[in-house]
Amino acid sequence: MYLLRLNFENIRNHNITELFPSKNINVIFGRNGSGKTSILEAISIGAFSKSFVTSFDQNIVQNGKDYYLVEIEARSENGLPIGLQVLYQLNRKKEIKTTAGENLSVQELIGKVPVVVLSPEMREIIFGAPSMRREFIDRIISQTDANYLKSLLLHRRILKQRNKLLNEFQLGITNDTDLLKIWTLKFIEISAEVVSRRLRFFEHFPLFFERSYQILSNNQESINITYQPFEFPSNLASLSHSDILEILKSQADKYFDKEIQRGITLFGPQKDDFLILLNNQLARNVASQGQSKTILISLKYAEMNYLYEMRKTYPIVLFDDIFSELDNERITQVLKILSDTSVQFFLTTTEVDWLKKSLPSGSLVKSFYVESGKVSEVSLSVL
């Protein structure tokens, strides 16, 4: 998959910006605050209907304007054209159009143009709360399995309704245990679907991650990643769907009284986590800045290859200022790995001198200079 054309309006300090990117490497450079990241945000909005920087669309709209617009023209490896448009207007429902139709939902958009995003803030996948790691997993699976995304969204709706009912129990508004049992059963059933699909994902993804890290670390360190569903036994590989249902039913019985006291659901896949072990120790406890960057790049490289394996098309890769803490040898290695595939990637940077030395010879490169939201295509050779 690769973009042929990107056009967007009123995103942060950009009025109207149009790009015709290279099918391989696209370098976006300029000073901090110039609007480099906004270009990647526009691509993210086209792929997921939201930015990877913020979940609040009103924060993206340029001051004084009341809408933003993103238009993408893309093509798959087999030549299939894909067009999409995302229009957000203040105080109105977001409008999504693709070549498949109009008035689409976010669920129908995700996966149309697969994208992998990496920015410095995503170090929270390693060091942050479990919710960051769950979001990372869910985004990958959702781009390969529409049924999983459907189950995930239904799980969130049922969880919200069950929490509302539990809160009413806590406040003494209701004591309808039969109704609570109905919502609990619904919650258990959809939770089992989510856990089962995550288990299938972890049958394959760790191999992609471990291989990626071994390449980037020159086999100097060991790494592994494991799924940790909430209060499940360690023998995950042997669990059937019926086993998962029974475990969740047992957890529902265990936490029933506490949930009524606290007014919130205390079990389920919204509490899942996964562990990253670096040299057999928790990465969040021992990883240096350079190692954490390598881990993140490895996760994203693994995500890229996993998406390709599942969809037989490479995703578009977005790197937002992620090379600042890597040595030149590691940077050269990352760029070579990416350029050796047919992946299209975009990277932002404030400095390009080091990049000119690291770019593989013969790469299809376009570079774009950004200043105050205005973009011009330039040649790296004349900088």
Residue 221: exposed, middle, or buried by beta-carbon count in 10 A (0-12, 13-18, 19+)? middle
Please give the pLDDT value at position 363. 67
What are the CB-based long-range contacts (under 8 Å, 24+) for 43-46? 43/3, 43/6, 43/72, 43/115, 43/316, 43/318, 43/346, 44/115, 44/117, 44/318, 45/8, 45/11, 45/70, 45/86, 46/6, 46/70, 46/71, 46/72, 46/84, 46/86, 46/113
Residue pair 124/136 in contact (Cβ under 8 Å)? The answer is no
Which segments of the chain does DSSP mark as H helices, in order?
36-48, 106-109, 124-127, 130-142, 146-170, 177-201, 205-216, 241-262, 283-286, 289-311, 328-339, 353-358
Please indicate, yes or no, whether the overall pTM of this predicted structure exceeds 0.85: yes
Please give the pLDDT value at position 381. 56
> Mean pLDDT in runs of 10 for the chain (383 residues)?
95 95 91 94 94 91 94 87 94 89 88 89 91 94 93 97 96 94 98 97 95 86 94 92 97 96 97 94 90 89 93 91 71 75 88 73 82 89 43
Domains and CATH numbers, the chain: 1-114+314-383 (3.40.50.300)
